[in-house]
Structure 1
Amino acid sequence: MTVASVIALAVLLLAVAVLALVLRPGRASTLEFYLAGRRVGVATNACAICGDYFSAASFLGVAAAVYVSGLDGVWYATGFAAGFVPVLLFVAAPLRRFGEFSIPDFLGRRLGSDRIRLIAVCVVQLIILSYLVPQAVGSGITWELLVGEGVLGLTPYATGVVLSTVAITALVVLGGMRGTTWTQAVQFLLLLAAFIWLAVAVLGSGFSYPDAVSELDSEPLANPEYAGGEWGLATEPNRLDSGESATFGEPGGRYGPFGQLTLMVTLVMGTAGLPHIMNRYFTSPTGTAARMTTVWVLGFASLFYTLAVLLGTASRSLIAKSVEGRPWLAELTVDGVLRVPEHAPLVLGRIYGGEAGLGFIAIGALIAVMSTIAGLLLASAASWGHDVYERHINPRASQRQAVWAGRGAVIVVAVFSAALALGLRPDSLTALFPSIVATMVTWAFALAGSALAPVFILAIWWRKTTSRGAGAGMITGAVTAIGMFASASLVTDQGVGEILLAPTIVAAPLATLVTVVVSLRTSTPKDLDRLWLRLHGTAADRRAARLARLTIAGVGESRRR
């Protein structure tokens, strides 16, 4: 048990809690609790978005995917980073200019419908839950390796899930968006520092990325497989070249020709529909600030995912050479290959930094998990507290009542997601997926990219989008994506199975088509010109429109007199 690491984590959490308390809003206000008063600066918001986005799937999952499937794992890094390009080009600035509390609130106001707001709330909650569960799984995996012991009769895995969920739920309830923004920004800088330290340690030892890839390419790619009551290594077939074995540096180690395309489409489209990321743009002071925030995020993402790919490759090359003389490592591997790929950066940290190195990387992983959980819980609270409680259950609620409704929603969603995570055993699923954490997060991206992103982007850029069209499109996208997920286990064909597990390439065009067809048959909001001006007009345009309305109102009043 690494007592020093646990103490360091406790001290860090205490410092974060103090920061959240100091920065919490001084008055009970939904604007402060959900959006930090819309006064978050560019650099701070960019770091907070990275803290939100660089989750367990990024910190553990990308390196694990590269570790277990070589070049095919790089598609995760590429897709996660490239997802912010359409956000920069099509979403960030108009979304902030419109200025609501959440995606359901935006769609409800833009399309003039309470019904579409409630449909969007349901879709948002499905996405959030799909994203929360793998974060909790990641915390359990990390605690299991870092500490190896449970508390109160729980297994080490369950202890990690429970402790991380309880800690971050308390921080969100106390700090709201303002406290969470600053803690996420600090947490992102810490997890980036963990990756930079590990990369420097690896490169400083003489590791060469090109030489490692060339060496790994000299033999077939093999991963652990549990069969016949014991573990062994199984050679991976090349999905692009039938009859050949896969190698680390060539495509085909995990995906066939359809799988690589569908994965990229899913990750790129899904980013624009992630509620906890899109909600952060409402905290920017202006549309220009929202756009510049995305530019910063793209820079941070490029650095972060480059390091993740480097460390995944280094893990595959160096861990197998380090088993001799390390009994603790032999217990985690099969013939030098890790049973749980998510252990790769953690093990590398212990090899190069001992218990302190393991603790540093593990703390970074737990920070990544808790930072993302915080953003997801806030997005969930905004949907339940603002879009449901304030709009429908208790429209006359005071600001204090609305804030407490949001806090209650945080607790309920956190408990439910932790319960689902406790029912999973990652090591039993390793043989099915390159990284169970990255794969589960991909399902959340697929749901977001299928049900929410197409309607969301159409509502921003197509004037004729209607509430009925958007509702039909969201339902179509969600049902199609979930149905394809559910049927994936029934299909034996590799190519078809890859499409079913990353269904955005089918579900998103279908959702778009349904939205367009239904919208063309129904009526747009009566005040469409005013709404369009809020979305796409400049500040001068909006001031001129307000002045014109005031002038007309003044003339009308004079005539009545």
Structure 2
Amino acid sequence: MSSPELVVLGAVLALVAAVAVLARPRGASTVEFYLAGRGVGTATNAWAICGDYLSAASFLGVAAAVYVSGVDGAWYAVGFAAGFVPVLLFVAAPLRRFGEFSIPDFLGRRLGSERVRLVAVGVVQLVILCYLVPQAVGSGITWELLVGSGVAGLDPYTSGVLISTAVVALLVAFGGMRGTTWTQAVQFLLILGALVWLAATVVAEGFQYGSAVQGLSAEPLANPSAGPDGTSLVTGQNQVRPTEPASFGEPGTRYGGLGQFALVVTLALGTAGLPHVMNRYFTSPTGTAARTTTAWVLCLAGAFYALAVMLGTAARQLLPGAVDDHPWLAELTVDGILVVPEHALPVLGRLYGGEAGLGVIAAGALVAVMSTVAGLLLASAASFGHDVYERHINPRATQRQAVLAGRLTTLVVACLAAVLALALQPASFSAAMPSVVATMVTWAFAVAGSALTPVFVLTIWWRGTTATGAVAGMTTGVVVATAVFVAGALADGGLLREVMVTPTLLAAPAAAAVAVGVSRRTRPPRDVEASWVRMHGTAADRRAERLARLTLDDARGPQGRGVHRARR
């Protein structure tokens, strides 16, 4: 790696580390470590949620999917951005008003069941692991391109996975939610700035999105494919009109009509079940602040994904014509088309900004990975440390012991994710994926949208939801989503496979139906009306309910008051 790249990458990492140190927790309490004292402002939380959500799949994967698949790749941007619409309408405000630590904590207290809490912990940890692995893969891909060499005898991909995962795990363990919030806010501004710079640069060089799409659509869309005689360009078939070749500007490059719909539904429903995103709403001071934060996130995420789609298109149009003048580009392409689609943005940055430009974009990609990994590790720590360790393993744990358990959880989960990322290297996947990183993240959205979101929404909006129904719904969602996905992956192709590899369209209704059916045959918790007031009542209703709760706690003595303080 040359000096400009080192300077840019070093400066970015130093800034992130400094923010984490300066914003570290003020005390050793679980509310401070997991929720930053519930005092995160609207703008800061919106930036932090974007930093949490806009992962390697967003920064590298969306542009890569567009680069490979044209319009079909843009469906990732639509699904990722649309996911905050149901969050805004149905989840953000009631969730914050109820005011717990995590998704399992919310479900367990709302339904009055430790069994619900433990099942939710299992599902949450599965979603987190499915999301962590592609982030680690993205860091390995970026390191491989940016640095090009390994450390301590390791190959570049392995070095990138291990170093980035270790750094983030240590920052999270040290900084908690407060440090993570501010680092994620700064990280989002950095990655948005990197995209704005690159977009402004290519536009200044004469790039026009409309004419680029028209020009790219004038001939069939071909992409590199490995064969017995080496890697060569292969033209795909249009999935909507099978008699025609794939075209950049026409739907059907990767998915048929139903497959496109299934992908968007999977991504949109999955957002409301992502633990690292939903946990951020518990850090808002009020329900109104949570809703306002979500509105800001919608605007910021929409701008981000619009830039990613534009730059994926720019890379597809501009890179083939630059191969003759840049010999280094020939090593990454076949007839001008990138072999690894995730290289689209870093290569575009190097083409127009030299080594410093590559450093800016690659640093942005690593920052996107680090930001999302930080949120995932913190969600994992809250799920296990608070919902399992404090309540079941060591109910008499001190605040210091509980925080230590959370910190150790971040390190263990980070190690597991790194091991899986090394076992699942991109080269082992089929070239049929529009983007390895974006496709792998879709698996996490599928599990979250199938198992957590239906139960989550029912618990918030239906008084009749019961603990047994919630357990049955979450279990059904995981089992159906996994079974359908495996069956789809083994299928030869066709319309059925398109839906089965994004199984939320089938699994989420099944989970909801089972949850409703079982709930109708079982009894809801006794305090359902009090929970309903906390989530949906007016401010006066909530004050009356809180006063009644305080009166009851006082009647129980010091132990009751302690429970009330812990819940706040």
- Taking structure 1 as the reference length, the TM-score comes to 0.97
Give the equivalent residue in structure 1 for 2:390. Answer: 390
The residue that corresponds to 2:290 in the other structure is 290
The residue that corresponds to 2:215 in the other structure is 215
Matched residues, number:
557
Distance 1:550 1:45 in 2: 30
State the match for 1:267 in structure 2: 267
What is residue 11 of structure 1 aligned with on the other side? Answer: 11
The separation in 1 between residues aligned to 2:208 and 2:555, in whole angstroms, is 76
> Given that residues 231 and 334 in structure 2 are in contact (C-alpha distance below 8 angstroms), is that contact kept between their aligned partners in structure 1?
yes
Q: List per-residue Cα deviations over 1:466-524 (Å, max 9, x = no partner).
A: 00000000000001111112222321132111111100000000000000000000001
State the one-letter code of the partner of 2:85.
Answer: V
Which residue of structure 1 aligns with residue 111 of structure 2?
A: 111
Match of 1:439 in 2: 439
Deviation at 1:430, TM superposition (A): 5.4
Residue 204 in 1 paired to residue 204 in 2? Answer: yes
Deviation at 1:431, TM superposition (A): 0.9
How far does the alpha carbon of each residue in 1:335-390 deviate from its partner, in whole angstroms, 9 at most, with x for none?
Answer: 11000000001110011001010000000000000000000000000011000000
Instruction: State the partner residue of 2:44.
Output: 44
Contact 1:51 1:185 in 2 (8 A): yes
Letter in 2 for 1:142: T
Write the distance in 2 (CA, Å) between the matches of 1:555 and 1:101.
26
Moved more, 491-500 or 380-389: 491-500
Show the counterpart of 1:310: 310
- How many angstroms apart in 1 are the aligned matches of 2:476 and 2:553? 43
Q: 1:426 to 1:390 in 2, by over 3 A?
A: same
Counterpart Cα distance in 2 of 1:436 and 1:121: 27
Contact 2:224 2:233 in 1 (8 A): yes
Residues of 2 paired with 1:452 and 1:162: CA distance? 30
The aligned counterpart of 1:412 is 412
Alignment deviations for residues 222-280 of structure 1 (CA, whole Å, 9 cap, x no partner): 00000014010000100011121011000001101221010011011000000000000
Amino acid in structure 2 at the alignment position of 1:185: A
- How far does the alpha carbon of each residue in 1:286-338 deviate from its partner, in whole angstroms, 9 at most, with x for none? 00000000000001011000000100000100011111121110010011100
CA distance in 2, matches of 1:340, 1:556: 63
In the alignment, the residues of structure 2 paired with residue 430 and residue 193 of structure 1 have an alpha-carbon distance, to the nearest angstrom, of: 33
- For residue 102 of structure 1, what is the aligned residue in structure 2? 102
Which residue type is aligned with residue 292 of structure 1?
T
Alpha-carbon deviation of 1:552?
Answer: 8.8
Give the distance between the partners of 2:238 and 2:85, measured in 1 at CA: 31
2:488 equivalent in structure 1: 488
Q: Report the Cα offset of residue 541 of structure 1.
A: 0.9
Q: Provide the residue aligned with 2:132 in structure 1.
A: 132
Deviation at 1:405, TM superposition (A): 0.1
Equivalent AA in structure 1 for residue 399 of structure 2: Q
Between the aligned partners of 1:550 and 1:316, the Cα distance in structure 2 is 62
What is the one-letter code of the residue matched to 2:20?
A
Where 1:27 maps in the other structure, the secondary structure is: coil
2:9·2:360 contact (CA, 8 Å) conserved in 1? no
- 2:231 partner SS: strand
Q: Tell me, which stretches of 5 or more residues in structure 2 are unaligned?
A: 558-568
The separation in 1 between residues aligned to 2:549 and 2:177, in whole angstroms, is 34
Residues 229 and 428 (structure 1), Cα distance of their counterparts in 2 relative to 1, 3 Å cut:
farther
Native 8 Å contact 2:62 2:77 kept in 1: yes
Counterpart-to-counterpart distance in 2, 1:388 and 1:434? 38
In structure 2, the residue matched to 1:59 is 59
**Aligned mates of 2:160, 2:546 — CA distance in 1:** 53
Structure 2 distance, partners of 1:220, 1:212, is: 14
Q: Hey, what's the Cα distance between the residues in 1 that align with 2:520 and 2:271?
A: 27
Contact persistence 1:270–1:447 (CA under 8 A): yes
The CA distance in 1 between the partners of 2:64 and 2:372, in whole Å, is 19
Quote the Cα distance in structure 1 between the aligned partners of 2:544 and 2:475: 39
Q: Deviations over 1:163-187 (max 9, x none)?
A: 1001111100110000000000000
The structure-2 alpha-carbon separation of the partners of 1:175 and 1:547, relative to structure 1 and needing over 3 Å to count, comes to closer
Shift of residue 27 of structure 1? 1.5
Of the structure 1 ranges 70-79 and 539-548, higher mean CA displacement relative to structure 2 is found in 539-548
* AA matched with 2:423: G
Q: Work out whether residues 84 and 298 of structure 1, in 8 Å CA contact, stay in contact via their aligned partners in 2.
A: yes
Residues 491 and 497, structure 2, Cα contact 8 Å, conserved in 1: yes
Q: Deviation string for 1:155-214 (max 9, x for gaps)?
A: 111111111001111100110000000000000000000000000000000011111111
Aligned to 2:565: none
The amino acid that maps onto 1:145 is L
How far off is 1:450 after superposition?
A: 0.3
Amino acid at match of 1:491: A
Aligned 8 A contact 1:173 1:407 in 2? yes
Instruction: State the alpha-carbon separation in 1 of the partners of residues 204 and 500 from structure 2.
Output: 43
Aligned partners of 1:339 and 1:427 also within 8 Å: no
Q: Cα 1:552–1:217, aligned 2, differ >3 Å: closer, same or farther?
A: closer
1:520-539 superposed matches below 5 A: 520-539=520-539
Residues 199, 311 of structure 2: 8 Å contact kept? yes
Q: 1:436 to 1:552 in 2, by over 3 A?
A: closer
Amino acid at match of 1:457: V
Question: Do 1:24 and 1:178's aligned partners in 2 also have CA atoms closer than 8 Å?
Answer: yes
2:86 alignment counterpart: 86
Q: Give the counterpart letter for 1:204 in structure 2.
A: A
Contact persistence 1:238–1:254 (CA under 8 A): yes
Question: Closer, same or farther in 2 for the Cα pair 1:419/1:546, shift >3 Å?
Answer: closer
Range that drifts further, 543-552 or 205-214: 543-552
The separation in 1 between residues aligned to 2:90 and 2:555, in whole angstroms, is 39
Give the Cα separation in 2 of the matches to 1:297 and 1:546. 31
Q: Which residue of 2 aligns with 1:172?
A: 172
On the 8 A contact 1:271/1:449 being kept in 2, the answer is: yes
Identity between Structure 1 and Structure 2 (%): 66
Deviates more, 1:6-15 or 1:370-379: 6-15
- How far is 1:5 from its partner? 1.8
Match of 1:505 in 2: 505
**How many angstroms does 1:427 deviate by?**
3.6
Going from structure 1 to structure 2, the CA distance change for 1:470 and 1:238 (only over 3 Å counts) comes to: same
1:553 positional shift:
9.6
- Cα deviation for residue 551 of structure 1 reads 7.3
* Distance in structure 2 (CA, Å) of the matches to 1:545 and 1:424: 51
Letter in 2 for 1:237: Q
C-alpha contact 2:217 2:249 (8 A) present in aligned 1: yes
The 8 Å contact of residues 67 and 344 in structure 1, kept in 2 or not, is answered as: yes
Question: Offset at 1:537?
Answer: 1.2
Per-residue deviation, 1:133: 0.3
> How much has 1:9 moved relative to structure 2?
2.0
Instruction: Give me the whole-angstrom Cα distance separating, in 2, the residues matched to 1:554 and 1:149.
Output: 64
Quick check: 1:339–1:430 contact (8 Å CA) kept in 2? no
Instruction: Tell me, in whole angstroms, the C-alpha distance in 2 between the residues paired with 1:328 and 1:197.
Output: 23
State the secondary structure of the residue aligned to 2:509. helix
SS in 1 for 2:70: helix
Q: Quote how far apart the aligned CAs of 1:281 are.
A: 0.2
Is 1:279 matched up with 2:279?
yes
Mapping of residues 542-557 of structure 1, within 5 Å:
542-547=542-547
Query: Structure 1 residue 185 and structure 2 residue 176: aligned?
Result: no
Q: For 1:233 and 1:490, how far apart are their aligned partners in 2?
A: 25
Task: Give the conservation status (yes or no) of the 8 Å contact 1:2–1:146.
Answer: no
- Following superposition, the deviation at residue 428 of structure 1 comes to 4.2
CA distance in 2, matches of 1:530, 1:88: 23
Determine the C-alpha separation between the residues in 1 that align with 2:553 and 2:147.
Answer: 68
- The answer to whether the 8 Å contact 2:8/2:356 transfers is no
The yes-or-no answer on 1:378 pairing with 2:373 is no
1:432 alignment partner AA: A
CA deviation after TM superposition for structure 1 residue 543, in Å: 1.2
Structure 1: give runs of 5+ residues left out of the alignment.
none
Instruction: Name the structure 2 match of 1:228.
Output: 228
Is 1:34 matched with 2:29?
no
- Residues of 2 paired with 1:551 and 1:413: CA distance? 42
Kept after mapping to 2: 8 A contact 1:98/1:534: yes
**In structure 2, do the counterparts of structure 1 residues 556 and 45 end up closer, same or farther at CA, with 3 Å as the change threshold?**
closer
Conserved? CA contact 2:489–2:501, under 8 Å: no
